Amino acid sequence: MQPKLLVIPAIDIKNGKCVRSVQGIPELDCYEYGDDPIEMAKIWRAENAKMIHIVDFDGAHELSKRNYKIIEEICSSVVIPVEFSGGIRNMEDAEIIMNTAISRLGINTLAVNNRKEFLKVFNKYGPSKIVITLDVQDEELIIKGRTTKSGIHYRNFTKEMVEVGIKRFIVCDITRNGTLNGPNIELSKEIAEITGARVTHAGGIRNKDELMDIQKLVSLGVDSVIVGRALYENRFPCQKLWRVAESGIFN
């Protein structure tokens, strides 16, 4: 039986509300999709999601922890893994967010700007809990909530992370994120091929056909996809989406 693609709905939180934004930057156009991220998590779980991905905009841009109570309640309200990213800058930050009961923590800036502190976090929690969020623009790694160019080529960085022991990357071409202009599937494929690690694709998904394109890469290691705006705007019936994925119709 062909391996299945895991479809992960995204919940982006800003000021306690669900939002989606162009290129993951609230200032570029931020769309609110309801006041209650907790209820949204319950909806996705009711629609048979197997994991939820949370981005904390306030954490990423202001290093705020104001949304942590919400994240903790999401974790206690759904019986599926919750993946989190946004604003982790040291071991204390990592410990606080891990104590909310998230299952996986995505890190970006810390691994670039403070490798020693990142290694402390990674050595404590290991590759099943710590993944790298790889935000790319014109082949350059972008950090600090997608606001700052790092001057580092993504290939060099991913190879370094594999040497450290990273087993999964969340890969996003940020020029596609939230734009509904189509995914950069080749980037995710390349990361999987050059690292041998597992890859979660993020950004640009518009319809079922594009999910089927990514499904073809599961055997290469691109085994999951984060979908945001297309789900919120009903670009495909989400119940049918998960039923199709689980029945093995994708081939």
pLDDT of residue 1: 60
Query: Is pLDDT above 70 for 111?
Result: yes
pLDDT of residue 103: 98
Using a 10 angstrom Cβ sphere, with 0-12 exposed, 13-18 middle and 19 or more buried, the burial of residue 140 is: middle
Q: How far is CA 163 from CA 45, 158, 195, 197, in A?
A: 35, 9, 9, 11
Q: Kindly state which CATH superfamily the domain 6-240 is placed in.
A: Aldolase class I (3.20.20.70)
**pLDDT, tens digit, for every residue of 39-79?**
999 989 988 899 999 999 999 999 999 999 999 999 999 99
Query: Is pLDDT above 90 for 214?
Result: yes
pLDDT of residue 193: 97
Active site residue 58: no
Active site residue 135: yes
Domain residue ranges of the chain, discontinuous segments joined by +: 6-240
Catalytic residue, chosen from 12, 58, 93, 223, is 12
Query: Is pLDDT above 90 for 207?
Result: no
pTM: 0.89
| Average pLDDT score, the chain | 88
pLDDT of residue 208: 87
Query: Regarding predicted confidence, which is higher, 29 or 127?
Result: 127
Query: Is pLDDT above 90 for 134?
Result: yes
Catalytic residue, chosen from 56, 93, 135, 173, is 135
Quickly tell me which residue has 């290991």 as its tokens.
126
pLDDT of residue 34: 62
Distance CA 178, CA 175 (A): 9
